[in-house]
Amino acid sequence: MANMEVSLGALKLKNPVLAASGTFGFGEEYSQLFELQELGAIVVNGLTLEPRPGNPAPRVIETPAGMLNAIGLQNPGLEVFLTKELPRLKKSRAAVIVNIAGDNEEDYVGLARELSKEKGISALELNLSCPNVKRGGILFGTSTGAVERLVKKVRRICKLPLIVKLSPNVTDIAGLARAAENAGADILSLINTIKGMVIDTTEQRPFLGNITGGLSGPAIRPVAVRMVYEVYQAVKIPIIGMGGIINPEDALQFFMAGAAAVAVGTANFVDPLTIPRLISGLHSYLQSRNISGIEKIVGVAHSFGKE
Ligand SMILES: Cc1cc2nc3c(=O)[nH]c(=O)nc-3n(C[C@H](O)[C@H](O)[C@H](O)COP(=O)(O)O)c2cc1C
């Protein structure tokens, strides 16, 4: 029997397929379709200290092979998460990863401190890369100095495994990955959405209320695979890869590029059963080739040309 369990350092997962932040809410709607504990983990909606209403509408538009969104971190805030969403998630026995964001370093540190006190959270994911908020995120995510400073501060008080989610809106993704690793990140996740724009030609104005948004879905997959490949060569810590995954074949590209686990975002909107289907498809792939576990194929694409 192929083993689907994976260990990303201290983070042990029953399988390597996660729900990506912002595309799975807090799991409630999906729990009516399947058992949340079947997933590798749920990365919950980006959380801030205080509730946020998000950006003005329209906030989403379909694009060729993807979508552009500018939700702007709409979320109920830390207190509602702790009193309402987390207890429900604990009951479902799902592995929960909390994605956090803020306007400044103190916001991130405050969230990490409070969340470290809670039981039932498997890891924290720092969203340094949301392209749709004007303050913190974009600044933190694009400069190696700022990434290093923030990750160091959070690392000092964070008792949970620490995932740092990288921005793809940079020229040197490997440099940022190294900065996060040097500052104490346990795991890296990539990629977040790529900054984009659609113009409404009838109205002669940008379509999204926020003017620009983040592109996701199959359109960004080759960029994401390339970035995972480059980051794998630059760091020693495990990588969670994402960007346009729909089918087992897509996920395999990420594993072979160097991801130890993958996450699925936009595809959940198209077919809410995507993740359970991926888990069983990957299991069948391993079985049919007599491969004992996913770790056997992680990074294999890097041997090309070296034999
Ligand atoms: C509607 C929407 C909301 C998102 N919200 C967040 C978020 O709150 N925090 C975060 O780190 N990433 C967020 N993301 C990025 C996804 O987690 C993921 O990194 C990205 O969409 C690429 O994966 P995909 O092509 O499978 O969607 C969001 C993406 C979408 C489409």
pLDDT tens digits, 146-172: 899 999 999 999 999 999 999 999 999
Confidence check: pLDDT of 179 > 60:
yes
Q: What are the residues facing 258 on neighbouring strands?
A: none
Whether residue 215 has its Cβ less than 6 Å from ligand 1: no
Reduced to 3 states, what is the DSSP secondary structure of residue 100?
Answer: strand
Whether residue 59 has its Cβ less than 6 Å from ligand 1: no
Q: What are the residues facing 127 on neighbouring strands?
A: 165
Residues classed as catalytic? 130
Please name the residue that has the structure tokens 């990074």: 299
Torsional sign, CA 117, 120, 122, 127: negative
Q: Which atom of ligand 1 is nearest to the CA of 217?
A: 25
Specify whether the CB–CB gap between 1 and 288 falls below 8 A: no
Reduced to 3 states, what is the DSSP secondary structure of residue 290?
Answer: coil
Residue nearest to atom 22 of ligand 1 (CA): 243
Q: Which two tokens stand for residue 114?
A: 């409070």
pLDDT band at 40, cuts 50/70/90? very high
pLDDT band at 133, cuts 50/70/90? low
Whole-structure pTM value: 0.97
Whether residue 274 has its Cβ less than 6 Å from ligand 1: no
Whether residue 128 has its Cβ less than 6 Å from ligand 1: no
Q: Which atom of ligand 1 is nearest to the CA of 263?
A: 26
pLDDT band at 132, cuts 50/70/90? low
Q: Which of 141, 131, 161, 115 is nearest to 71 (CA)?
A: 131
Probe ligand 1: pick from 189, 192, 227, 245, max atoms within 8 Å of CB? Answer: 192
Confidence check: pLDDT of 138 > 80:
no
pLDDT for res 118: 97
pLDDT for res 307: 64
Cα→Cα distances 168→41, 91, 135, Å: 23, 35, 17
pLDDT tens digits, 203-254: 999 999 999 999 999 999 999 999 999 999 999 999 999 999 999 999 999 9
Average pLDDT, the chain: 95
Specify whether the CB–CB gap between 151 and 188 falls below 8 A: no
